[in-house]
């Protein structure tokens, strides 16, 4: 495989100790919802202003952000002074990446389930993204757990296998193009299921994903896994504590993820920001891990900064301070050096 050594180095840099990935790849629709929450219009200018502010947060970008996942628009966009946003990221020493899936769409004959689209024409799009500077990519598969009393129990075998196959085809195309794939099978925490159910479903999904990756000759040492943590559902009455989440998540990952995978970068999936940090820290404190464990958070890195910014230029310094703080907390969690007291004092 051409460029394998280069991809291995990129994958290792993405999960370097003390650093993690900023997921800033919300589609135009999704970023619109985030901006609406601060009464800010979803214009190209506002999307640029928000992301430029993040990428110009020097301390966070240099010390705590290994890579940034971008949406197509952002990869082609320039800052207010004309500097391409990709250059801001590269100049800070972080790797630019690109979301390449075209979204999770309703899966035919599978009520309540989705299949992620975007494979058609992907080879050509990856070649262009490589030319534009992207060195890693992301594809998100979405698995929904339905209430056991629902008419259709999900996930079905059909949806799990189809999504695993698509993730593997995407990953193979990425490596052919010299781009490191982030493989993201997300088991949603929507619903009221227990941590036991999340564990069983996540286990099945990861087994299917790694089977498919092997079947498609994907090189484990040139990819990064982006899984959900094993948690109680958002509306579950019986909530698992931090140590239980850490123990369950590690036990599943150790059973399934080969040690040749350089790193695992979790999504936050709707956990509140400090909880997502506490879970990552608890896993890293347990030690004895065959891969790096870090963050690839969207909401858990951006939410508090977005509120502080509120779309107003005069709030930029305070918002950058908040973004630095959240990145520092998670960077410390990626080496098991975070504590709740730091949240209060930082
Ligand atoms: P969250 O951390 O908000 O789940 O986003 C991560 C991501 O990239 C989802 O695809």
Q: State the DSSP string of 125-191.
A: HHHHHHHTT--EEEEEEEE-PPPTTSSS-SS-HHHHHHHHHHHHHHHHHHHHTT-EEEEEEEE---S
Domain spans of the chain, in order of start: 4-345
Phi and psi for 171 in degrees, rounded to 5?
A: -65, -40
Which residue lies with its CA nearest to atom 10 of ligand 1? 140
Report the separation in Å between the CA atom of 258 and the middle of ligand 1, taken as the mean of its atom positions: 23
Residue 276 CB neighbours (<10 A) = 26
Reference 137, options 186, 165, 92, 96; nearest CA is: 96
The ligand 1 site (C-beta within 6 Å) comprises 23, 140, 184, 267-269, 297-300
The pLDDT of residue 7 is 98
Q: What pLDDT, in 10s, does the model give residues 184-212?
A: 999 999 999 999 999 999 999 999 999 99
Q: Whole-structure pTM over 0.85, yes or no? A: yes
Determine the atom of ligand 1 nearest the C-alpha atom of 302: 3
- Tell the residue nearest (CA) to atom 1 of ligand 1: 298
What is the CATH architecture assignment of 4-345? Answer: Alpha-Beta Barrel (3.20)
Structural tokens at position 136: 């890693």
- The predicted structure's pLDDT at residue 346: 53
Distance 257 CA to ligand 1 centre (A): 20
pLDDT at position 165:
98
Q: Give distance in angstroms: CA of 298 to centre of ligand 1.
A: 4
- Closest C-alpha to ligand 1, atom 5: 298
Closest residue CA from atom 4 of ligand 1? 269
Q: What is the pLDDT of residue 168?
A: 99
Kindly list the catalytic residues: 184, 226
Residues of the chain with pLDDT under 50: none
Could you tell which of 24, 65, 268 is best to mutate to test the pocket of ligand 1, judged by most ligand atoms within 8 Å of the CB?
268
Query: Angle 102-261-297 (CA atoms, 0-180°, nearest 5)?
Result: 50
Q: Determine phi and psi for 27, rounding to 5 degrees.
A: -65, 170
Q: Which of 21, 23, 30, 137 to mutate to test the pocket of ligand 1 (most atoms within 8 A of CB)?
A: 23
Ligand 1 centroid to Cα of residue 2, in Å, is 30
Ligand 1 geometric centre to CA of 227 (Å) = 10
**For residue 295, which atom of ligand 1 is closest to its CA?**
2
């Amino acid at each position: 495989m051409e460029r394998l050594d280069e991809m291995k180095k990129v994958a290792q840099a993405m999960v370097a100790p003390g650093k993690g990935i900023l997921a800033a790849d919300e589609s135009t629709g999704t970023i619109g919802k985030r901006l609406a929450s601060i009464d800010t219009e979803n214009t190209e200018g506002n999307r640029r202003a928000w992301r430029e502010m993040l990428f110009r947060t020097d301390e966070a970008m240099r010390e705590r952000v290994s890579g940034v996942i971008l949406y197509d628009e952002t990869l082609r966009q320039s800052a207010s002074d004309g500097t391409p946003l990709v250059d801001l990221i590269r100049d800070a020493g972080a790797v630019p990446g690109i979301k390449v899936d075209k979204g999770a769409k309703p899966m035919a004959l599978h009520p309540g389930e989705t299949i992620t689209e975007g494979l058609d024409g992907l080879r050509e799009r990856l070649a262009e993204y490589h030319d534009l500077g992207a060195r890693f990519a992301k594809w998100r598969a979405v698995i929904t757990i339905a209430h056991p009393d629902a008419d259709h129990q999900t996930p079905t075998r059909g949806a799990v296998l189809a999504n695993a196959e698509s993730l593997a085809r995407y990953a193979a195309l990425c490596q052919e193009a010299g781009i490191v794939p982030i493989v993201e099978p997300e088991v949603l925490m929507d619903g009221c299921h227990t941590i036991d159910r999340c564990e069983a479903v996540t286990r099945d999904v990861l087994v299917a994903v790694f089977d498919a990756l092997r079947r498609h000759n994907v090189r484990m040492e040139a990819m990064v896994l982006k899984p959900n943590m094993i948690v109680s559902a958002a509306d579950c009455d019986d909530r698992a504590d931090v140590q239980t989440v850490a123990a369950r998540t590690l036990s599943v990952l150790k059973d399934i993820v080969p040690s040749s995978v350089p790193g695992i970068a979790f999504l936050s999936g709707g956990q509140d920001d400090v909880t997502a940090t506490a879970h990552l820290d608890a896993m890293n404190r347990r030690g004895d891990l065959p891969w790096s464990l870090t963050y690839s958070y969207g909401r858990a890195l951006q939410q508090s900064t977005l509120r502080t910014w509120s779309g107003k230029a005069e709030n930029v310094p305070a918002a950058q301070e908040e973004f630095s703080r959240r990145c520092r907390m998670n960077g410390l969690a990626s080496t098991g050096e975070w504590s709740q007291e730091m949240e209060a004092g930082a």
